[in-house]
Amino acid sequence: MKILSVQQMRMADEATITSEKISSLELMERAATKVFDLLHNRLQGTPIPIHVFCGIGNNGGDGLVISRLLEKHGYHVRTYIVNFSDNRSKDFLANYDRLKDVASEWPVQLKSKQDFPTLLDQDIVIDAIFGIGLNRPLVPWVATLIKHINKSKCFTVSVDIPSGLYADKIPDDPESVIYSDVTVTFQLPKLVFFLPQTGIYARDIEIVDIGLNREFLQQSPGIAELIGKNEVLPLYRSRFKYSHKGTYGHSVLVGGSYGKIGSVVLATKAALKTGSGLATAYVPECGYAIVQTAVPEAMVITDDDDELSEIDLDFKPSAVGIGIGLGTNEKTIKALSNFLKNNTSPIVIDADGINILAKHPKLLENLTTQTIITPHPKELERLIGRWKDDFDKLNKTIEFSKRHDCIVVIKGANSITVYKDQLYINNTGNPGMATAGSGDVLTGIITGLLSQGYSPLHAAVFGVYLHGSAGDEAAHQTGFEAVVAGDIVANIGTAFLELFKQRSIPDKKSS
């Protein structure tokens, strides 16, 4: 699913109005009705007090439509107008008049702190103060109103975007943004919902289709893509009946050092479980018995030390995953440097491999095109330097990717795969995956996909998705805390099966 910029969203709005020959007021009615439907569906007429806070722009206009529909359906509604400006939008004003016709009480005007209502824990708040039109800092009393709403324990539903959150930069004051329980967003998700600094405000997201012009949405370049099942299914390459293990490539996982052989075990298992035809673990001597015992399906090549001092293969691997548990001593750096100079196979670099690249940036010149690098935040910082905020981090990563023609997977809650200007935001995974070795599994999965002939970009995007999906399955079985990296490996198969699972349709006879 595409993610558009604010400007592209506004253009989509215009394209819809023009192509359908409807007014912006009608589009607002349609959009806000979708929010009402969702609420009504959940509340089923429950007489809970609902406080609707409306700004004076089109987000406020949506709020007024929601208030009117709630009133019409007998809910206990109180509407507030947050008067932060005299520039009320035309559609806001039209809906203000319509609300007055049906409201049991007139909207309450808020102009300062003295006007703030008391909010009780069990009440519901609809937040329609600011939408994607927020473009400057809040005046102090509006910031205080947002803090007042946050302080209450009310269940808060934000319309389109939590108020106070810019669609394209981080907030001026992190405390002056609504922490919403559910954000009902129009047509497409917003980029800020998936970044660590801003995603915290939009806990659950409901995307409602408001019928924006499909052709426009398809043609718009967007600024990112949200990767779910629909996006990865077309990437899947099925296996042929007359295939043999040679068809699916030979993955080589290079890494490990004394006390860190487990990382290679996990990655090698993951490559095999992802479908690699053959797998070889290239480890120091101390890892020989460990890998042979833990992964009997794999072959093992050893170097004669506790750390790798030479990486020398007498065949060309279909794919290489390198860096896990590697250590960063001088002889290993030299070995990696020599290997990278001569390597022409598709490659994933992780962990200490990244740390070595960060310390010796000259090595970046030797990378094969579209090398995949999978840093966690600390490794990324070593690689691209400090960033000011999440947007700066993305821009710096884009720069880096362009400069070195590499694919960077920024790992985290919503891992983002960056290739030049393209951003692919993953939508699987859970906090249970914040556990030792989980990244090694990802390296193995991506290597396994590369070995089967997936292009580097597809291997990265699909691999990150499968990894998260396997983690979700693992968490489903054990709960977040008990997930360990081995459980993610064990569920790679289920993650593949999940791709083809149809949503069950309720049986009419039994319902």
Ligand X SMILES: Nc1ncnc2c1ncn2[C@@H]1O[C@H](COP(=O)(O)OP(=O)(O)O)[C@@H](O)[C@H]1O
Binding site residues, ligand NAX, CB under 6 A = 9, 13, 27-28, 31, 55, 57-62, 84-85, 89, 130-138, 159-160, 186-187, 212
Distance, in Å, from the CA atom of 317 to the CA atom of 303, rounded to the nearest integer, reads 17
Restricted to residues 134-163, the positions that interact with ligand X (CB under 6 A) are none
What, of K ion, ligand X, ligand NAX, none, does residue 158 touch, CB below 5 to 8 Å by kind? K ion
- Closest contact distance (angstroms) between CB of 191 and ligand X is 18
Q: CA-CA distances (angstroms) from residue 47 to 39, 76, 380?
A: 13, 6, 50
CA distance 19 to 15: 6
Alpha carbon distance 449, 441 (integer Å): 12
Single out the segment in contact with ligand X by CB under 6 A; choices: 99-107, 211-219, 305-313, 436-444. Answer: 436-444
Q: Which is nearer to K ion, 128 or 495 (CB)?
A: 128
Nearer of residues 192 and 409 to ligand X, judged by Cβ: 409
- Please give the residues from 467 up to 506 whose contact with ligand X meets the rule CB under 6 A: 467
Give the distance from CA 424 to its chain's centroid. 8
| 415 neighbors 199 (Cβ within 8 angstroms) | no
Phi first, then psi, for residue 152 (nearest 5°) are -70, 160
Is 458 labelled a binding residue? no
Q: Which two tokens stand for residue 431?
A: 């906090």
Using CB under 6 A as the binding rule, whether residue 200 contacts ligand X is answered as: no
Nearer to K ion, 185 or 469 (CB): 185
Query: Using CB distances below 5 to 8 A depending on partner kind, what does residue 163 bind out of K ion, ligand NAX, ligand X, none?
Result: K ion
Which C-beta is closer to ligand X: that of 277 or that of 353? 353
- For the chain, the first-to-last Cα distance in angstroms comes to 32
Name which of 273, 248, 238 is nearest 442 in CA terms.
273
**Residue 86 assigned ligand-binding role:** no
Q: 319-324 and 250-255: which strand pairing?
A: parallel
Query: Which partner in ligand NAX, ligand X, K ion, none is near 27 (CB below 5 to 8 A by kind)?
Result: ligand NAX
Least Å distance between CB 101 and ligand NAX? 20
Closest contact distance (angstroms) between CB of 220 and ligand NAX is 13
In the complex, least distance from residue 336 CB atom to ligand X, rounded to whole angstroms: 18
Whose Cβ is closer to ligand X: residue 338's or residue 430's?
Answer: 430
Among 89, 163, 263, 415, binds K ion (CB under 5 A): 163
Smallest Cα–Cα separation from 280: which of 351, 291, 303? 291
Give the Cα separation of 25 and 92 in Å (integer): 9
Greatest C-alpha distance within the chain = 85
230 exposure class (CB count in 10 Å sphere: 0-12, 13-18, 19+):
exposed
Find out whether 439 is annotated in a ligand binding site. Answer: yes
Q: Is 359 labelled as part of a ligand binding site?
A: no
Q: Is 21 left (phi over 0), alpha (psi -120 to 50) or beta?
A: left
* C-beta separation of 393 from 379 below 8 A: no
Question: Site size for K ion, by CB under 5 A?
Answer: 4
- Smallest distance, Å, CB 142 to ligand NAX? 7
Q: State the minimum distance, in angstroms, from the CB of residue 159 to K ion.
A: 5
Q: What are phi and psi of 176, to 5 degrees?
A: -105, 45
Binding-site entries for (6S)-NADPHX: 58-62, 131-137, 160, 325, 376, 440
Q: Which residues bind K ion (CB under 5 A)?
A: 127, 158-159, 163
Binding stretches for ligand X (CB under 6 A): 351, 376, 411-413, 415, 429-431, 433-434, 436-440, 442, 467
